[in-house]
Chain A
Amino acid sequence: MRRFKKTITGRAPSQTTNVSVTLIGTDPVSIVVWNQTLVDTEVDPTIGNTQNITFNVTVYDVNGAGDINASSVKAWASKTDEATRSNTTGCTENSGEDTSNSKNFSCTITMWYWDAPGAWTINVSASDIGNLSTNSTNHYNFSYDQLQSIDISPSEVFWNSVAIGSENNTAGNNTIINNSGNYNITGNLQVNATNLYNGANFLDVGNISVGLDTGSECNGTVMVNAENTGITGAVLEKGNLSEGNANETIYYCITLVPTTIPSGTYDTTTEGAWTIRIS
């Protein structure tokens, strides 16, 4: 006969324990870009500045929303011959919008004023926790609008006193013109000049020329009253103004002050301002 010895200890015979098991899936994520929200001013470049393009993205995973790597979602925009534009901080998860198999994200891409108009491809990538794969899509796009834009500085031109009958009087200042949009202005820069009046007398703008280099303005393009006169040789491609691109300076010269006009002050108050324009 076997004998059993009873021993009483303080140990509980059983206890409850919290157990959590993370199930990770093997299926990759899939991505949908809601690009139809990009309309009107959202895709207009902004003069001399950036423009944020913001859109929503849904990432799906048949293995459950918990299998989506929420910090992995990235977006960028691309176009042939253009620099890629991306969001450096990644897309932001929209809290409270999860479903059992998806998460929503808000993505912002920063575009620049000189980025070319036309169709840009939206690229979005997202990673799966389970199989560590990264999936991406480039099946969506948006149309970035054309922006014709110039900055001129200063917005007046002056001459100091010039003698009647004198020749080749260069203006006291010049005009800096910046191409602050994404339109190619090369070959499309014009000046619409009007005669300068002093009462009933006027200085015909046929006596005024505009040039692109200091020292050559008196041999530049001759103005025609109230006509859009193209400035020959102006180069104003789109580009980054901060890097010294996309600007041109024009210089003015009164090639001859006619002896037929009396002394006095001649200005644009009668005929209105001259216009620097893009054709």
Chain B
Amino acid sequence: MENKKIFGAGTIILAVLMLSTVMAFGVSSPYWKGNPLQISPGETKVVKITYQNIGDDALDLTVRAEITKGSEIASLNKQDYLVRAGTKDTTVEVTVSMPSSATAGSKYQVTLTSSSVTPGAEGGVSLGVGMDTTFDVEVVPATEEELAQETDYSGIVIFVCLAIIIISIVLIVVIKKRR
């Protein structure tokens, strides 16, 4: 019965000397399941998601962010975020880029997984917080304004190319005449 001893060689201990109080963490998002981000084929949009760390005894938190669903259309420019105690304005920018080949009406989902990076407590079990923030993405036809912008942009590119060609021809002619 040696392994039944309470305070002897046959015991394990998972105790911490001091318990901390409240850990509060929140993620706010302008889009969610049922409230989709609408985006056109070929378009890129940045979704601003905000971290909050507010509580009576809040401590600074490091939060690790990761796209765990929809990474074919969504990306982050940063992985770790320092969320200061008492703040609600740490912004995570999720860039959503819809391929030009996407068809209007198709739907995607993007999940941002956020987890506090919490060191393990010596002698016990420390707890962190985390959450999956999932939002729908709906592909919609490009608006006339967007199409017009694309057209305008194409026109500028063509104009610049033509200008370069004409200037080159003129330069060549001038140089030849001087010779």
Contacts and interface: CB of A to CB of B under 8 A. Distances in A.
Interface of A: 40-41, 44-49, 117-118, 143, 145-166, 172-173, 175, 180-181, 192, 196, 198, 203, 257, 259, 261, 263-279
Given A266-B12, A273-B121, A277-B131, 17 more contacts: A48-B54, A149-B27, A155-B20, A155-B22, A155-B126, A156-B19, A156-B126, A159-B15, A162-B13, A163-B10, A173-B19, A257-B12, A265-B13, A267-B125, A269-B121, A272-B117, A276-B130
Interface in B103-153: 115-133
B138 to A, nearest CB: 16
Given A46-B88, A198-B12, A150 B126 contact: no
B122 to A, nearest CB: 5
B3 A164 contact: yes
B21 interface: yes
Contact of B13 (A44, A155, A266, A278): A266
B127 A158 contact: no
A154 B20 CA distance: 6
Nearest to A146: B32
Contacts of A279: 131-132
Given A161-B6, A161-B13, A151 B126 contact: no
Interface string B14-54: 11100111111111111010010000000000001010101
Contact of B11 (A49, A118, A163): A163
A277 B23 contact: no
Contacts of A173: 19
B4 interface: yes
A161 B7 contact: yes
Contacts of A192: 130
A120 B101 CA distance: 35
Given A41-B89, A47-B24, A145-B28, A276 B127 contact: yes
Contacts of A268: 120-121, 124-126
Contact count band on B = 35 or more
B155 interface: no
A172 B123 CA distance: 13
B9 interface: yes
A213 B64 CA distance: 32
A259 B3 contact: yes
B129 A277 contact: yes
B120 A151 contact: no
A44 B50 contact: yes
B35 to A, nearest CB: 7
A96 B175 CA distance: 68
A269 B55 contact: no
Contacts of A274: 125-128
Contacts of A180: 24, 26
Contacts of A148: 26-29, 131, 133
Given A44-B88, A149-B24, A118 B35 contact: yes
